[in-house]
A and B are shown apart, each in its own frame.
Chain A
Amino acid sequence: MTAKDCLEKAAGSSLGELALQLEEDAGTPREDALRKLDSMLTVMEAEVEHACHLPVYSISGLTGGDAYRYDQYRKEGGSLLGEIPALAATYALSASETNAAMGRIVACPTAGSCGILPACVLAVAKVRGIPREKVLLALAGAGLIGELIDEHASLAGAQGGCQAECGSAAAMAAGAIVEMLGGKPEMAFHGAAMAIKNQLGLVCDPVAGLVEIPCIKRNVGGTAIALSAADLALAGVESRIPFDDVVEAMDRVGKALPAALRETAGGGLATTKAGLAMKEKVYGKTE
């Protein structure tokens, strides 16, 4: 299936409705799928707040406390970002710190990129007062975008680098925002395409091989990219390169990335002086 096929099937409807239809065709009734999405949304609502009220630290001790710190700053009115982007940044930090601290999260598409979709969707829904049913449909639409990326490229950092994880999450989030705010399916795909284009080639280089540095902050960056891409799409700006072509490029770029930059902790930030020192702190001296 391609975005082109989806646009034909979703004509006059929405990506979320099409995603539910496809699930129904595969044997999951609409009501069951919505109930499942609802229980996931409940987990998302908890994870985006969890690390805001009190500092939460990761099990390795390398990261934590930043969602709390940023939220205090945001509430004092210091943020440079508008209400929605600042709230999304807080939410993304909270979800990612919760993940690193062995808290409960929804992988979407992965655990390392779990902050981007809930942060964007819940920040927009809260500020704009979007009803829950519409949020669930937006999540379903985001899932469909993820399915297309999975089919034609990859969602795994070990295969495609961070563009496959945070890049895909931002594309899913951009599509979900467009859908929630009433944009047409074409616009959702333009938003998703623009989000991927802004993260094309992003490497996966986790310090000490852990889902913390730089993953947590890349979730924040992912929200900023998703929100700007969705905003452009809602304004009628189109991606000059269509979504299907962008995903095809993403696949080629991912395959061209050396193994050292695909989740092996063998390059990038992982092998900087500071990165290696943190690795030693966690695991002790090796070799």
Chain B
Amino acid sequence: MGLFDIIGPVMIGPSSSHTAGAARLGRLVRKLAGQEIQEATLYLHGSFAATYRGHGTDKALIAGLLDLPPWDERLRGSFELAKKAGLRYRFVPTDLGEDAHPNTVRFDILCKDGSRHTVTGASVGGGQVEISEIDALRVRFTGERPIIVCRHHDHPGVIAAIAGLLYEARINIGNMQVDRSRETHLAQMYLEIDSFPPPGLEKEIKAIPGIQDAMILRPLEEEQVQ
């Protein structure tokens, strides 16, 4: 922890995990969508399900989906802003199972271009967040460093081909994890990288033989409070 983990962040109250983290989580979903969201169903789990009204977690999540930063005073009036922006939403308290973090939300969203996505994430404390699933792909995305997620056929050479592309782009891998399913013979890989990927890298990865799906997630750049 550094100085600004102790003094800060600047945020809208009352709770760093239930308000600031919720706003950041909503905003990460908005950034992943890369476009306006027209409809959202938010499944709230654990402590979020129990206390979301009292902590303004609902207002914070909607503010995030509208792309407001966690310190924006308009956060309190986010329901009105959603109405104006044409964002329809509903909250469903639910139980996502024992393994889910107590402050977890599953977002089912309909984007402006008609596409539908499901994103699951949690507010893990002190305003920090972690996305754990995007459209059935398991990830671990905190919004701090870029990550690459892909699903590929479980045979030799696929990972080497991706690593080769990263090497050519002079990108260092900070963290990686591979999981595979014996039934489907598909593997899922998650790479955290230390620098920004060049444009077109996602396309190049998708073109590697054996890759079924790939996605590059960029960090959430949060502007400083004015």
Contacts and interface: CB of A to CB of B under 8 A. Distances in A.
Interface of A: 19, 22-23, 26, 28, 33, 36-37, 39-40, 43, 58-60, 98-112, 114, 117, 139-140, 142-144, 146-147, 150-151, 155-156, 158, 172, 208-212, 282-283
Contact of B14 (A37, A102, A142, A282): A102
A143 B3 contact: yes
Contact of A103 (B12, B59, B125, B127): B12
A103 B10 contact: no
A99 B19 CA distance: 11
Contacts of B9: 106-107
A210 B3 contact: no
Contacts of A111: 11, 13-16, 19-20
14 contacts: A23-B3, A36-B8, A40-B7, A59-B14, A99-B13, A102-B19, A105-B12, A106-B7, A107-B126, A111-B19, A146-B7, A150-B6, A211-B15, A282-B54
A101 B50 CA distance: 19
Interface residues of B, number: 35
Contacts of A210: 14, 51, 54-55
A158 B16 CA distance: 13
A252 B6 CA distance: 21
A43 B225 contact: yes
Given A107-B8, A108-B7, A156 B125 contact: yes
A19 B7 CA distance: 12
B194 interface: no
Given A104-B225, A211-B55, 18 more contacts: A22-B3, A33-B3, A102-B14, A102-B56, A104-B12, A105-B11, A106-B10, A107-B9, A108-B6, A139-B7, A142-B6, A143-B4, A150-B5, A151-B1, A155-B6, A209-B47, A211-B13, A282-B54
Contacts of B88: none
Among all A-B residue pairs, the 6 with the closest Cβ atoms: A99-B13, A146-B6, A211-B14, A143-B3, A102-B76, A143-B7
A2 to B, nearest CB: 15
A208 B14 CA distance: 13
Given A102-B75, A103-B73, A156-B125, A36 B4 contact: yes
A114 B71 CA distance: 14
Contacts of B47: 209
Contacts of A98: 13
Given A36-B4, A144-B3, A147-B2, A104 B54 contact: no
A209 B3 contact: no
A40 B8 contact: yes
Contacts of A59: 14, 54, 56, 76
B53 A107 contact: no
Contacts of B54: 59-60, 208-210, 282-283
A37 B76 CA distance: 25
Contacts of B10: 39-40, 43, 104-106
A104 B125 CA distance: 18
B8 to A, nearest CB: 6
